[in-house]
Amino acid sequence: MSQYDVCVIGSGPGGYVSAIRCAQLGLKTVVVEREKLGGVCLNIGCIPSKAMIGAAHTLHRIQHDAAEMGIEIKGDVKVNMKKLKNWKQSVCDRMSGGVEGLLKGNDVEVVSGEAEFVSPTELKVSGSSNTKSIKAKNFIVATGSRPIEIPGFEFDEKTVMSSTGALALEKIPKSMLVIGGGYIGLEIGSYIAKLGTDVEILEAADALLKGVVEKDVAQVVGRKLKKDGVKVHLKSKAQSYKKSGQALEVTAEVAGSEKKFKAEKILVTVGRRPNSDQTGIKEIGLEVDERGFIKTDSQRRTNHSHIFAIGDIACQPMLAHKASHEGILVAEVIAGHNRAYDAKTVPAVMFTDPEIASAGMLESEAREKGYNDLKISKFPFAANGKAVAMMETDGFVKMIADAKTNVVLGVHIVGPEASNLISEAALAIEMGATLEDIALTIHPHPTLGETMMEAAEATLGHAVHIIQKKK
């Protein structure tokens, strides 16, 4: 039996980051991982999906924008799915290998196998060839989440797929029905459509991304989906499916009426559930809420004070960067530092087309919290020189501020490189910046980043590069 200061269960973006920070702080640390280092994010989630989305975007640009730019391509542009899949895997392997090197370089021990608590202070790890017992003064549970299955649509990853299967396709399907119009469904649906698949999306709500992003932000993505030939069916719930010849026939309720859809593949993306039914979590008495999240305090400490939980298994939002932040926080708490989770905002990014990114409050959230007097304005990418030069002018930067103080409450971006632009907004909100702070900061030209400055000026009522009504 081995004894450690800290045992981290799971090596995703929360677990491996936490383990490295623990080791940096002088704590004898071990990581237990049942699959590949880097977890879901690096191997079957964030990284592979962005690789495939990037490749599909490149193809789309070649097919639709190159000729207008004066770039003439002779012959058909084809996709070699086997090579694309191998390239995607090389990206994942490089990232996972990088994690292995970082852990080794920081003297973190790695144990492969399935972990299970046998007591609050001991872990049994079942590997392919042996079983190992681990005792630790502290445990960090970072075991993540998995896709939700719906009755009648159990995953086989061949015909009925989760995001995992959709990112490992051997060939481009002729058609795909996506059940769930959340960000995962829209990301994968968009990339598959760009490769040439006929895509239809069933969304139970009466609008895409309802309550998740601003309505006008979602509308931009909806219009682009339509332009790209993706059909979206709102108020739609899949009920069952059966094989019909070479296709799959799905029966769904659409706006109160029964309707049938045929597709070669079915992708189910209705959300993710925390893995709190694994690892012996409930058996050792860790408290779990009604949604399956392990209950924690502001230091991510559970009801067993020496056991911490971070990432998807701890609480919303289920985002990799939130998990990494918590991982560092917990490592420093264990080392005796005075830390607690007190982030004002966790920025969110969706790699749709165009991209969506947000930080801070939605307009509805601001009003619910008592901000009844707001300043709200938008600056369009169509008025930005860099966006015009890139031929990516869909979308805008939207800013929400308290009219009494001009403090920025929320920033919502839909457009090119939204994922990169949102970090400035997150910093602004975290530090309590005002509209003037952003507007008076000189931004380099010509860049997409200028849209942040211009959006602040627009919200103050004196934008230069768009015409506004005089106030």
Q: Could you tell me if residue 340 is inside a domain? A: no
Running DSSP on this structure, what letter comes out for residue 48? H
| Phi, psi angle pair for 114, to nearest 5° | -90, 120
Positions of E strands within 361-421: 374-380, 396-402, 408-414
CATH number at residue 361: 3.30.390.30
Digit-coded pLDDT (tens) for 381-395: 999 999 999 999 999
Digit-coded pLDDT (tens) for 275-293: 999 999 999 999 999 999 9
Residues 143 and 170 in one domain: no
Q: Which residues contact 106 (CB under 8 A, 6 or more apart)?
A: 19, 20, 23, 24
Residues 296 and 422 in one domain: no
Residues 253 and 287 in one domain: no
Residues 193 and 260 in one domain: yes
Both structure tokens of 66? 């190159």
Residues 286 and 255 in one domain: no
How far is it, in rounded angstroms, from Cα 452 to Cα 444?
A: 11
Residues 84 and 95 in one domain: yes
Contact present, 233 and 207 (Cβ < 8 Å): no
Where among 270, 291, 315 does a domain terminate?
Answer: 270
Both structure tokens of 425? 């907004």
Q: Could you tell me if residue 153 is inside a domain? A: no
CA atoms within 13 A of residue 28's CA, in its CB half-sphere:
8
Q: Could you tell me if residue 361 is inside a domain? A: yes
Digit-coded pLDDT (tens) for 237-274: 999 999 988 899 999 999 999 999 999 999 999 999 99
Beta bridge partners of 8: 31, 140
pLDDT at residue 471 tops 90 = no
The closest of 174, 146, 149 to 160, measured between CA atoms, is: 149
Both structure tokens of 233? 């069916």
What is the rounded average pLDDT for all residues in the chain?
96
Q: Could you tell me if residue 410 is inside a domain? A: yes
Residues 310 and 428 in one domain: no
Residues 352 and 306 in one domain: no
Residues 387 and 242 in one domain: no
Q: Give the residue numbers spanning the domain of 190.
A: 160-270
Residues 142 and 213 in one domain: no
What is the signed CA dihedral for 406, 410, 413, 414, rounded to 10 degrees? -120
Q: Could you tell me if residue 469 is inside a domain? A: no
Q: Could you tell me if residue 342 is inside a domain? A: no
Residues 363 and 456 in one domain: yes
Q: How many domains does the chain have?
A: 3
Confidence of residue 75 (pLDDT cuts 50, 70, 90): confident
Cis peptide before 347 (omega within 30 of 0): no
Residues 377 and 228 in one domain: no
Where among 239, 270, 301 does a domain terminate?
Answer: 270
Catalytic residue list? 445
pLDDT of residue 92: 96
Q: Could you tell me if residue 175 is inside a domain? A: yes
Q: Which residues contact 24 (CB under 8 A, 6 or more apart)?
A: 106, 331
Q: Could you tell me if residue 343 is inside a domain? A: no
CATH number at residue 112: 3.50.50.60
How far is it, in rounded angstroms, from Cα 93 to Cα 258?
A: 45
- Per cent of the chain over pLDDT 70 is 100
Where among 310, 334, 358 does a domain terminate?
Answer: 334
Neighbour count for residue 465 (Cβ, 10 Å): 14
